[in-house]
A and B are shown apart, each in its own frame.
Chain A
Amino acid sequence: MVPVVELNDIAHVYVTDREASLAVEGIHLKVEPGEFVSLVGPSGCGKTTILSVIAGLLQPSKGAAYVNGDPIYGPSPEVGYMLQQDYLFPWRTIMDNALIGLELTERLNPESRSAVQNLLREMGLGDSGNLYPSQLSGGMRQRVALVRTLATDPGLLLLDEPFSALDYQTKLQLEDLIVETLKERGKTAILVTHDLSEAIAMSDRVILLNRNPGRIHRLFDIPENIRRAQPFFARKEPGFNELFHEIWGEMQTIGKE
């Protein structure tokens, strides 16, 4: 099977007037279809850089990157990106916000429109289509952002700390919703997060990154029982705490370097 994402010895350099600094180096990564992978690590480890490379927003300085076996030249409709906050356009209604991706890729037609309407309904936003973002709560807005990302039907979703701006309760609900939605549709996903327990609860594989420059430190495969459980219940599965402390310990040693 062709991996959905393949990164081959990726390095990226950020150039400013003062200096050229190495953000990530020697990144090798393969993500199989349907897999849910999390990137965790201390700040400055280049998590978002890696995501931007896969999204086609950044051309890596070195190395080769492929999505579905094709080299990445720029953003593609195959890849959906969810940001840290909803970033809905305040001047557009919820429906129009959800449709923006279809509009931009010129795939807006009555069928795709009703598909988005259905998606909104599935997320419990069926009645909100004509409202404006300012009239919705943070959790609802992030759900609209999820609909916006799913509307173009990408095979791969990049989630860049999508829960970081939400309160704890909303965050737990959204974790369940996202995992469920993605599993149902057979999507592949890469999640960037600061929250270790979130990473373990949601993913099939956790990748711990080291910093200065960012590189892969260690891979952790999540045991079957935790993987199968919904994120909320995964936290109570046997082995969850042990794994949490193992990764936590590794992170501490990175921090001391």
Chain B
Amino acid sequence: MTTRHEPSASSSKGWLQDIYVKHTKKKKSIRNRVLAVQLSLLLLFFIWWEAAGRWKWIDVLLFSYPSKIFSNIWGNMVSGELWGHLGITVGETVVGFLLGTLVGTLLAVLIWWSPFLNKVLDPYMVVFNSMPKVALGPIFIVMFGAGFTAIVITTLSITVIVTTLVVYNSFNEVDSNLIKVVRTFGGTKRQVFQRVILPASYPAIVSTLKVNVGMAWVGVIVGEFLVAKSGLGYLIMYGFQVFNFTLVLSSLLIIAVVATAMYQIVVYIERKLLTHR
């Protein structure tokens, strides 16, 4: 039904096909070249780091070097010590970021529903949003005990308000004519929300998911610094205190890998959810 030419459909015109093939080939080759440069940059960095460490161009005590870090990670993996810490941190992050997005979105729904409540809450949200929330960490620890709950609450304090502001904003940016369509059929406020506002705001909600992945990691690591019982944040703190920077860098490397994996999962969900837009 569209006017787009499917090259396969017009196979009688061979030269059309040729142009199309040339185009895809060119695109693919650019993609491959980018990937190759990216990988070699990474490899080069690790080689240089390894060499610099071995020949003492850098202070090994501070910067360690890759083979030492990898054997440290491997050792912790085999001994099983890593998994406990990793599990706790990932658990806190996932719970914090899902809950943060959910609570933030619900709050956005609430203030969308009641413009009066929105006006009342507005200054409080602005103040809370501009405050460095991690500073509240010690209070949360006293309130909820030094553990999982306090860390998740610290994460929530970082993610919720930003989510609310972004999602509420996207609620307001929905084309008023789409709302008019529902209203002309006598749709209620509830129906306006369900049929228009919410589906139209999926992109914004998913993009706050992306932001919140990063935020949740900040909240969790800071929380673990403060609580200092277990988790990757604790490992970093511990390594710092005993001056074992191989441990610190190992933890950082693991965080980088896991955080990227979580981000990619969100990107995957986004692609699944937002086709046809």
Contacts and interface: CB of A to CB of B under 8 A. Distances in A.
B146 interface: no
A76 B186 CA distance: 6
Interface in B147-196: 175, 177-178, 180-187, 191, 195-196
A152 B202 CA distance: 28
B177 A77 contact: no
Contacts of B200: 89, 91
Nearest to B187: A104
Given A76-B186, A83-B177, A105-B185, A127 B1 contact: yes
A132 interface: yes
A128 B202 CA distance: 25
Contacts of B183: 57, 75
Contacts of B185: 75, 77, 100-101, 104-105, 152
A132 B181 CA distance: 18
Nearest to B4: A135
B276 A91 contact: yes
B186 A74 contact: yes
- Residues of B in contact with A, size category: 20 to 34
Interface string A103-139: 1110000000000000000000001100110111100
Contacts of B75: none
B181 A135 contact: no
B23 interface: no
Nearest to B182: A104
B199 interface: yes
Given A91-B277, A105-B186, A136 B180 contact: no
B277 A104 contact: no
Contacts of A91: 199-200, 202, 276-277
Nearest to A92: B199
Nearest to B178: A87
A81 interface: yes
Contacts of A100: 181-182, 185, 195
B2 interface: yes
Contacts of A71: none
Nearest to B203: A91
Contacts of B1: 127-128, 131, 135-136, 140
Contacts of A89: 178, 181, 195-196, 199-200
Contacts of B180: 57, 81, 83, 87
Contacts of B186: 56, 74-77, 104-105
A72 B181 CA distance: 18
A65 to B, nearest CB: 16
Contact of A80 (B175, B182, B184, B199): B184
A206 interface: no
Tell which of A79, A101, A127 has the most Cβ of chain B within 10 Å: A101
B276 A134 contact: yes
Interface in B209-252: none
A79 B178 CA distance: 17
Contacts of B184: 55, 57, 75, 79-81
A8 interface: no
Contacts of B2: 135-136
A152 B183 CA distance: 14
Contacts of A127: 1
B167 to A, nearest CB: 17
Contact of B177 (A87, A136, A140): A87
Contacts of A131: 1
A87 B181 contact: yes
A233 to B, nearest CB: 29
A140 B1 CA distance: 10
A85 interface: yes
Contacts of B181: 83, 87, 89, 100, 148
Given A75-B183, A135-B2, A85 B277 contact: no
Contacts of A136: 1-2
B127 to A, nearest CB: 26
Q: Top 9 closest A-B pairs, CB basis?
A: A81-B184, A75-B186, A104-B185, A132-B276, A101-B185, A104-B187, A87-B177, A91-B199, A87-B181
Given A57-B180, A84-B177, A135-B2, 4 more contacts: A75-B184, A77-B185, A89-B178, A137-B3
Interface of A: 55-57, 74-77, 79-81, 83-85, 87, 89-91, 100-101, 103-105, 127-128, 131-132, 134-137, 140, 148, 152
24 contacts: A55-B184, A56-B186, A57-B180, A81-B184, A83-B181, A85-B177, A87-B177, A89-B178, A89-B181, A89-B196, A89-B200, A90-B276, A90-B277, A91-B276, A91-B277, A100-B181, A100-B195, A103-B195, A104-B186, A104-B195, A132-B276, A137-B3, A140-B1, A148-B181
